[in-house]
Structure 1
Amino acid sequence: MEWTIAVNKNWSALEEQFSWVRDMEQVQQDPLHHAEGNVAIHTQMVLQQLEGFPEYRNLDYQKQELLWASALLHDVEKRSTTIVAADGRISSPNHAKRGAQTAREILFRDVETPFELREEIVALVRYHGLPLWLMEKVDPMKSALEASLSVNMGQLKLLAEADAKGRYCADLDALLYALDMFELYSKEIGCWDATRSFLSENARFTYFNGNNSYVDYVPFDTFKSTVTVLSGLPGMGKDYQILAMNTDLPVISLDDIRRKYRIDPTDKKRNGWVVQEAKEQAKKYLRCGQDFIWNATNITSQMRKQLIDLFVSYQAYVKLLYVEKPYKIWRAQNGDREYPLPEVVLDKMLHNLEVPQLTEAHEVHYITA
């Protein structure tokens, strides 16, 4: 059975089913760019435009559903980011990034969605404005290549075109020109039909994590150790995954440190000390070139970057393992743990979850079975 976000796609049925669809009617937009009115009106116009594109109708059913859901969700977090300036102008800064996190939460908790399909939709929501503004980025090539690791650029352009045409604005011609330039540029740098290949994992990692890095630069592999970093919400089975690895590598576990010193996971002040203690243990292994496993939730890109930057500074090769189970299994597993977390804590962590991207480490693996 193929996936769909909703069997009945009538707008009134969507409003009845989803509170976040109902919210759209209350979110106003700047008349200069959206003279049609609120987000609900705009979203319906985007969906109508998308359904009318020959390129959309020629896609198979599942790809159509993927794009349709992305269009429905693309402005979901204008509700939380919209601000009205003193001069009356309306803007919604960072609505795409925040909307991507909300899309992931909805498609994990409320509408059970296969992992790969969900993350494609999340990425389309995250990057839906990129085709219109790519050439204004500080580094257009890096921005395009990064997006191409998680989205099909042709489908991204199709969503952006529906977004541009699904509104009343005076600069539509300029928007459509920007979309054409996006396609031409993506083809020129080799990421339109497929992800651009790198000659090594280290070349890819160095390009996306270095300043002024050259896309074809291939660094020497001078690694002294390998660090395996676990990532995943509490109760997803990270400890079990380590056991399944059947290795005798040392494991640095933040949970073990907390239990040893009887520190509550919600104690922010003392948990800062826990992280520092774990980093000191890691530095001892890094200095002598000892491989090890870092076991913690690491649910945001910022958390992971701080760690990976540390490990790489000691010339470590970093493998990132993301572990996930379906929502109902996850909640049940948390309840079966020796030290379960309160439901409200899990809800907050789910809301903040950022699934690791291929740019973050030398290797990134998703364990979702």
Structure 2
Amino acid sequence: MNYKDLLKHVPAPGEVINLAWALDAFPALRLLATTPQDPHYHAEGDVWTHTVMVVNELVNGGDYAASTAEQRFILFFAALLHDIAKPDTTVIDEVTGKIGQPGHSRRGAIDARIALWRYGVPFAIREAICRIIAVHQLPFFAIAGNKGGQPPEFLIRKLSHELDLRLLAAVAEADMRGRDYVGKADCLVDIELFRELARDEGCYGMPRSFADLATQVAYFRGAAIAPDYPFHAESGSNVIVMAGLPASGKNTWVAKHCAALPVISFDDAREALGLKHGDNAGAAVHKAIDDAKALLRNKAGFVFNATHISSSMRKKTLDLLYAYHASVTIVYLEQSEDVLMSRNTKRDTTLTNASIRRMLFKWEVPLPTEAHRVEYPA
């Protein structure tokens, strides 16, 4: 199956759906039928029962009918795959019997990314689906109070730069309607309030405007500033941060576009220290960071070339760069699985293809809110 095959399965508005094909296309969905849920929030039963209800609610909803063909693809697969990681994240308390699936949204986005990547779904469409899955519950809690404690205005402003809030709200509404829950009516009100606040902020279907990029980055990183008034940022280095799985072409891109710039690389640091991949990684990281700090102190431009495939890995690098007031561009690269594996077998490296495949389960594509600029594959 490939992207063209998936396109054929996107239902028309109001169409009676048959999801038997989906269990073959996405085998992980088979486990949903035997995965229990907290009966307080999901009295309808198992995760597959809920998923089918959600997809039906979505396809029969007004947002789906009003969407373009591309948006329907995004909405449909976001709804179909939104709980794909619940089997792997289910925890049942031995004493109380309470059922939880902590982290299923974030893990689900990664699982969906891997599956859709293997099917050749275009990058922008795939990431629109994965970004919805990663935060599909936020409209339930954004107004009433979220775990992170951020004001709802902050969440909506930030999310508007990461995805289309109209599509997020549509999936959230279908997710809530497609369940048997005593608090459903109140949650649907909160989703509508989420929509109204986004409209008030001028970012329902578009990114929230900011005075400039410096203000935008500072705000998303937690500065207590107003989006509409320029934030005076100190000047620092211009840094290009590479991101992408091994063998995705980062070194080639740097050689082609940044030949005159210094390059900070964990691989280079390992080589300078005479280490193999995986040996004393701490020493290589320490050397790379020290070299980067020296350039940052001098406000010199450079390239930070590493995989940076998870948000936590990028955060360590970005926190360092922003501490020195750097202006950051993330360049994200990727290739098909076949290309990655073929390239890796031809490289002079101790990193195996099996190791790259394990890395996929930490694969989080950079978000537009992480840097001043983020360049994605065309």
Partner of 2:91: 83
- 351, 356, 359: which is aligned to 2:366? 356
Partner of 1:35: 43
* TM-aligned CA deviation for residue 7 of structure 1: 4.1
Kindly tell me the number of residue pairs found equivalent between the two proteins: 365
* TM-aligned CA deviation for residue 132 of structure 1: 1.2
Give the secondary-structure state (helix, strand or coil) at the position aligned to 1:307: helix
Partner of 1:328: 338
Once residues 230 and 179 of structure 2 are traced to their aligned partners in structure 1, the CA distance between those partners, rounded to angstroms, is 45
Give the secondary-structure state (helix, strand or coil) at the position aligned to 1:318: strand
Once residues 313 and 2 of structure 1 are traced to their aligned partners in structure 2, the CA distance between those partners, rounded to angstroms, is 42
- The answer to whether the 8 Å contact 1:101/1:354 transfers is yes
- The answer to whether the 8 Å contact 1:120/1:151 transfers is yes
Partner of 1:106: 115
Once residues 63 and 19 of structure 2 are traced to their aligned partners in structure 1, the CA distance between those partners, rounded to angstroms, is 23
- The answer to whether the 8 Å contact 1:5/1:69 transfers is no
User: Runs of 5+ in structure 1 lacking a partner?
Assistant: none
- Equivalent residue runs for 1:261-280 within 5 Å: 261-267=273-279, 270-280=280-290
Q: CA-to-partner distance for each residue in 1:231-281, whole Å, 9 max, x for gaps?
A: 1111000011011205311111211222233322223xx111101101111
Partner of 2:244: 232
Partner of 1:50: 58
- The answer to whether the 8 Å contact 1:232/1:299 transfers is yes
Higher mean alpha-carbon deviation, 215-224 vs 126-135, is at 215-224
Partner of 2:173: 161
Letter in 1 for 2:103: N
TM-score if structure 1 supplies the norm length?
A: 0.93
- 286, 290, 297: which is aligned to 2:300? 290
- Equivalent residue runs for 1:206-221 within 5 Å: 206-221=218-233
* TM-aligned CA deviation for residue 6 of structure 1: 6.5
RMSD (Å) for aligned C-alpha atoms: 1.9
- The answer to whether the 8 Å contact 2:238/2:302 transfers is yes
Once residues 188 and 324 of structure 2 are traced to their aligned partners in structure 1, the CA distance between those partners, rounded to angstroms, is 47
TM-score if structure 2 supplies the norm length?
A: 0.91
- Equivalent residue runs for 1:56-95 within 5 Å: 56-85=64-93, 86-95=95-104
- The answer to whether the 8 Å contact 2:233/2:325 transfers is no
Q: CA-to-partner distance for each residue in 1:51-94, whole Å, 9 max, x for gaps?
A: 11133123222211111100011011111222223222222122
- 185, 193, 196: which is aligned to 2:197? 185
* TM-aligned CA deviation for residue 10 of structure 1: 3.1
Once residues 224 and 299 of structure 2 are traced to their aligned partners in structure 1, the CA distance between those partners, rounded to angstroms, is 29
- The answer to whether the 8 Å contact 1:3/1:65 transfers is no
Percent identical: 33
- The answer to whether the 8 Å contact 1:2/1:62 transfers is no
Letter in 1 for 2:107: R
Partner of 2:12: none
User: Runs of 5+ in structure 2 lacking a partner?
Assistant: 10-16
